[in-house]
Amino acid sequence: MAGGLGSRLYPASLAVSKQLLAVYDKPMIYYPLSVLMDIGVTDIMIIVNAGDADKFNALFGNGERLGINIRYAVEDHPKGIANAFIIASDFIDDDTVALILGDNIYCDTGIIIRAVDKFESGALVFGVTVYNPDEYGVAEVSEDGRVLSIEEKPTSPKSNIAVTGLYVYDSDVVAIAEGLKPSARGELEITDVNMEYVRRGNIILANLGDEVPWFDAGTAQSMMRAGHAVADREKQTGRKIGCPEEIALECGYISLDQMRQQLESMPESDYKAYLTRIVAVQAG
C-alpha cells in the first residue's frame, strides 16, 4: 500500500510519494517490499496514487530483476487501508494475501517469518509494545493469547500492544472488505476487518514485543528515528536491512550470475560495494 496523501510529511511529500523518500540509504518502499519477499511473497501488487505509477515502475519495473512479479494499481483518492482488498480483488482471487503499509519498517523479520510459516487460515497480525498506544490500533489479548478486541486509537487503551502495518489473511478478506461501511472519517478501516476475524474467533496476534524495532515512518520524526535505527543496526550486524537484491539472492529468486549482471549496471556506491561482498561470500 503506497498511496495516500503523505500529508504528515508535508512539504517533503509535496512533489514525490512519501514511499520514495529515503530512509537512511534506501527508498522507504524498499523496506516493506523486502519484508514481503522475505516471507515468500513473489506476486506483489503495489497500490499507488494517480501520477505515481511511472515513478514506482522506474524503480522496480515488473519485478523481473528481483525474480518476482510486480503489478501496479492506482487508488484515485484515499478510501482507507481496507480498500486495498477491493482494488486487488481480482489479483487476490482465492489466495492467501499479505498486506503491508508502504511506510512500515521492521528491522528484523525472524519472528514474522516463523509466524507466517505456521499460518493456515483466518487472520494474522503483528503487535509491538509501545508507550503511546492511544495513537495506534490496540489489541486486547487474553492470558492464553486469544485476541479479544482491537480498537482504533482508543482514549483508554486496554493494553500497550499496537497492531502494526503488516497483515496476513485468507481470501475471505475480500468479501469482508466489500461488506464494510465507511467509518466516521469516511474510510474503510483495517481495524473493522480485523474485528470481523475476532468475532469469528479466527485471528492470531504474533507479538513482536520490544525485541523487533518497528517504525511507522509517516512523520518526519519517526522517519528520522527509523533512519538512525537502520543505520545503527546495520553497523552492529554488518547486514543491510531492506535490501531486496540481497533477499532475492538468498531466497533463490535470482542466481549469482543474474546478480553479477545487475552489479555491472549499478553506479559505484556503498550499496553496490555491499552487494559485491554478498556475491563474493555466496560464491565461496
Question: Is the model's pLDDT at 5 over the cut of 80?
Answer: no
Report the percentage of the chain scoring pLDDT > 90.
87
| Under 8 Å between Cβ of 73 and 45 | yes
DSSP run (H or E) holding 27: strand 26-27
pLDDT of residue 15: 84
pLDDT of residue 76: 85
The C-alpha cell 482514549 sits at 155
pTM of the complete model: 0.95
pLDDT of residue 212: 83
pLDDT tens, residue by residue, 140-194: 999 888 999 999 999 999 999 999 999 999 999 999 999 999 999 899 999 999 9
pLDDT tens, residue by residue, 218-272: 899 999 999 999 999 999 999 999 999 999 999 999 999 999 999 999 999 999 9
Question: Is the model's pLDDT at 211 over the cut of 80?
Answer: no
The alpha carbon torsion through 214, 210, 227, 79 (nearest 10 deg) reads: 20
Q: How far apart are CA 200 and CA 122, in angstroms?
A: 9
Question: Is the model's pLDDT at 101 over the cut of 90?
Answer: yes
DSSP run (H or E) holding 178: helix 172-178
DSSP run (H or E) holding 75: strand 69-75
pLDDT tens, residue by residue, 30-72: 999 999 999 999 999 999 998 899 999 999 999 999 999 999 9
- Name beta bridge partners: 84: none
- For 145-163, the DSSP string reads S-EEEEEES-SS-S-SEEE
